[in-house]
Amino acid sequence: MIFEVEKIREEFPILKSQVGKYPLIYLDNGATSEKPQCVIDRIQKYYEEENANIHRGVHHLSQISTDNYEKARKIIQSYLNARFDHEIIFTKGTTDGINLVASSFGKLLKEGDEVLITEMEHHSNIVPWHMLVEEKGIVVKYIPLKQNGELDLSTLDELLTDRTKLLSITHISNSLGTINPIKEVIEKAHQNGTKVLIDAAQSLQHTKVDVQELDCDLLVFSGHKVFGPTGVGILYGKEELLNELPPYQGGGDMIKTVSMERTTYNDLPHKFEAGTPNIVGGIALGTALEWLSGFDMEQVEAYEHELLLYATKRIKEIEGVKIYGEAEHKSAVLSFLVENIHPYDIGTLLNQQGVAVRTGHHCTQPIMDFYSIPGTIRASFSFYNTKEEIDQFITALQKAVNMLGA
Ligand code: PMP
C-alpha cells in the first residue's frame, strides 16, 4: 500500500455507515464524492460564526465572510495554478459553467460557426451546444469514439476547420474512465486558432490539473466531486478571453453602475457572478482543495490505478461480464454489463448488500448508442476505497448474478 487508506477513511464519517446489516461500500464516486470531516466542520462553522452576505457590507460579519470567500478563490487559483485569482469564477457546478460559456461565448457565434465536441461527452457538454444550434444555427461536430473507449483523434485534423471556434472536451469520461490526451488536443486546436474548454468534472479528484501547463482557455469542474459541497463549482478562464466574453446573467454584484437607461459591467471575476452566490459552498470548496493538496496526487493516481487493475481482474472471474471502456489510459471507473441481466436488477441487488453503484446511461446516451446498449453498471472508485471493498463488491455481484440466474 502506498499510503494509509485506513487513516484517510477515518476522516470520512459516512464511510462508517451501515446499509441495513451491511457496511456501506461506496462505489459511486463518479456521481459525487463523500466529504471529509474538515469540510463538514467548515460548513457548520460558517453558519455558526460567520454568516453574512458578501461584497456589500461594511459590518464585521460581512467583512469576515467576504474575506473567507475571496481566500477560497485564491486557494482554488493556486490549486489550478491559474495566473490570477480573477480568472476563477464561482459557478453552481460543471453544468452551470458550461452553460455560462455556451451563453456568453455563444453570443459571439454566427450561423455556420462550428463547435467541436466528442462522442463521449456528458449531456451537460452536449445539450448547451444543441441549444445554440437552435438559437444561432451553429454546427456541432463530434470526435468519434473507438470500440475500446478511446477517441479517434486521427480525425482531428479534418474536423478542425476555419469555422471551428471552440473545442469542448472532457478530460476524463465519467462512463468509460478514458483519460483523453488533452494537452495534445489543446495544442492542435490552438494551431487552428480554436479555443478549448475542458470539462474537468472527473479530473481533480484523481489527478493534478495545472491550467497553465495545459494551456486550456477555459476549464470547468464541480465542487461536490472533489470532496466539497454540492451547488458550487468553478469556471477557470484566461483573463484575456474572459474580458472579451459578454456577461452571462444580469443582477447584483456584476455591475459597476446602473442608471435608468443603461448598465456598465463590473471587472472580473464579478462580471460573471450575478446575485448572492453559494458563499459557504465556495468557502468549503476552498477547504476541500486545501485538504486535497495535502496528498501527493501521483500517489493517489498510482493507488487508484492499483484498485482499477484489481477490480478489473476480479470482475473478469464472473461469467458473462463484459467491460465497456478499455482505454490504455484509464481512470478508476469500471462500467460493465452481465449477459442477459438488466443493469437495474444488478444495481438493486447490490444495494441490498450495501454496495452503492450507479446504473443507467450516466448522462452519456451517445456512448450507449455507440455500443447499442441501454446503459451499464458503473463502479467508480476513490482513493478512500480499498481492495477489501472490491472483494466484498465482487462477492455481492456474484450473489446477484446467481440469484438472477444468468
Ligand atoms: N461532465 C462530466 C464528465 C461529469 O461526470 C458530470 C457529472 N456526472 C458533469 C459534467 C456534470 O456535473 P454536475 O452535475 O456537477 O454539473
DSSP one-letter string for 31-63: T-----HHHHHHHHHIIIII---SSS--SHHHH
Quote the pLDDT of residue 249.
Answer: 95
Residue 59 CA to ligand 1 center (angstroms) comes to 37
Same domain, 136 and 172: yes
Q: Determine the average pLDDT of the residues in 39-54.
A: 98
Same domain, 231 and 278: yes
Ligand 1 pocket test, candidate residues 96, 119, 124, most atoms within 8 A of CB:
124
* Active site residue ranges: 363
Residue 40 CA to ligand 1 center (angstroms) comes to 22
Confirm whether 19 is domain-assigned: yes
Q: Is the CB of 122 under 6 A from ligand 1?
A: yes
Residue 60 CA to ligand 1 center (angstroms) comes to 37
Same domain, 231 and 364: no
C-alpha 301/C-alpha 73 separation (Å) is 25
Q: Which atom of ligand 1 is nearest to the CA of 230?
A: 15
Confirm whether 395 is domain-assigned: yes
Q: What is the CATH number of the domain that holds 139?
A: 3.40.640.10
Q: What is the CATH number of the domain that holds 313?
A: 3.90.1150.10
Q: Is the CB of 68 under 6 A from ligand 1?
A: no
Angle between helix axes 279-292 and 60-80 (nearest 10 degrees) is 40
Angle CA 56–60–62, to nearest 5? 30
Same domain, 78 and 18: no
Q: Is the CB of 150 under 6 A from ligand 1?
A: no
Confirm whether 41 is domain-assigned: no
Q: Which atom of ligand 1 is nearest to the CA of 170?
A: 3
Residue 256 CA to ligand 1 center (angstroms) comes to 33
Largest separation between any pair of C-alpha atoms in the chain: 71
Quote the pLDDT of residue 11.
Answer: 98
Residue 204 CA to ligand 1 center (angstroms) comes to 13
Q: Is the CB of 202 under 6 A from ligand 1?
A: yes
Same domain, 178 and 276: yes
Q: How far is CA 271 from the centre of its chain?
A: 24
Phi, psi of 143 (to 5 degrees): -75, 125
Q: Which residue blocks in 231-330 are alpha helix, DSSP H?
A: 239-244, 279-292, 297-315
Q: Is the CB of 117 under 6 A from ligand 1?
A: no
pLDDT higher than 60, residue 1: no
Tell me if 153 sits within 8 A of 398, measured CB to CB.
Answer: no
Q: Which atom of ligand 1 is nearest to the CA of 233?
A: 15
pLDDT band at 57; cut points 50, 70, 90: confident
Residue that is written with C-alpha cell 487508484 in the block? 304
pLDDT higher than 70, residue 387: yes
Residue 78 CA to ligand 1 center (angstroms) comes to 23
C-alpha 166/C-alpha 139 separation (Å) is 11
Same domain, 279 and 315: no
Residue 13 CA to ligand 1 center (angstroms) comes to 24
Quote the pLDDT of residue 56.
Answer: 77
Quote the pLDDT of residue 82.
Answer: 98
Q: Which residue blocks in 53-196 are alpha helix, DSSP H?
A: 60-80, 94-107, 127-136, 156-159, 182-191
Quote the pLDDT of residue 405.
Answer: 82
Q: Is 81 left (phi over 0), alpha (psi -120 to 50) or beta?
A: left
Confirm whether 167 is domain-assigned: yes
Question: The domain containing residue 183 runs over which residues?
Answer: 52-292
Q: Is the CB of 203 under 6 A from ligand 1?
A: no
pLDDT higher than 80, residue 2: no
Residue of minimum CA distance from atom 8 in ligand 1? 31
Same domain, 14 and 59: no
Q: Pick the last residue of a domain from 292, 321, 347.
A: 292
pLDDT band at 320; cut points 50, 70, 90: very high
Confirm whether 227 is domain-assigned: yes
Ligand 1 pocket test, candidate residues 125, 180, 202, most atoms within 8 A of CB:
202
pLDDT band at 245; cut points 50, 70, 90: very high
The average confidence (pLDDT) of the chain is 97
Chain segment 183-206, per-residue pLDDT in tens: 999 999 999 999 999 999 999 999
Q: Determine the average pLDDT of the residues in 244-262.
A: 94
Same domain, 149 and 241: yes
pLDDT higher than 60, residue 83: yes
C-alpha 259/C-alpha 98 separation (Å) is 31
Quote the pLDDT of residue 69.
Answer: 98
Confirm whether 190 is domain-assigned: yes
Q: Pick the last residue of a domain from 271, 292, 313.
A: 292
- The percentage of residues in the chain with a pLDDT greater than 70, rounded to a whole number, is 99
Residue 233 CA to ligand 1 center (angstroms) comes to 11
Same domain, 168 and 282: yes
In sequence order, what are the residues at sequence separation of 6 or more whose Cβ sits closer than 8 angstroms to the Cβ of residue 332? 177, 206, 304, 305, 307, 308, 311, 380, 381, 382
Quote the pLDDT of residue 118.
Answer: 98
DSSP 158: H
Q: Which atom of ligand 1 is nearest to the CA of 363?
A: 8
Q: Is the CB of 94 under 6 A from ligand 1?
A: yes
Same domain, 302 and 219: no
Same domain, 23 and 83: no
Confirm whether 40 is domain-assigned: no
Q: Determine the average pLDDT of the residues in 307-317.
A: 98
Residue of minimum CA distance from atom 6 in ligand 1? 201
pLDDT band at 406; cut points 50, 70, 90: low
pLDDT band at 281; cut points 50, 70, 90: very high
pLDDT higher than 70, residue 45: yes
Q: Determine the average pLDDT of the residues in 12-36.
A: 98
Confirm whether 34 is domain-assigned: no
Quote the pLDDT of residue 8.
Answer: 98
Tell me if 248 sits within 8 A of 104, measured CB to CB.
Answer: yes
Chain segment 108-117, per-residue pLDDT in tens: 999 999 999 9
Q: Is the CB of 358 under 6 A from ligand 1?
A: no
Domains identified in the chain, total number: 2
Q: Is the CB of 199 under 6 A from ligand 1?
A: yes
Same domain, 285 and 354: no
Q: Which three cell numbers stand for residue 166?
A: 471552440
Tell me if 89 sits within 8 A of 190, measured CB to CB.
Answer: no
Q: Pick the last residue of a domain from 263, 292, 321.
A: 292
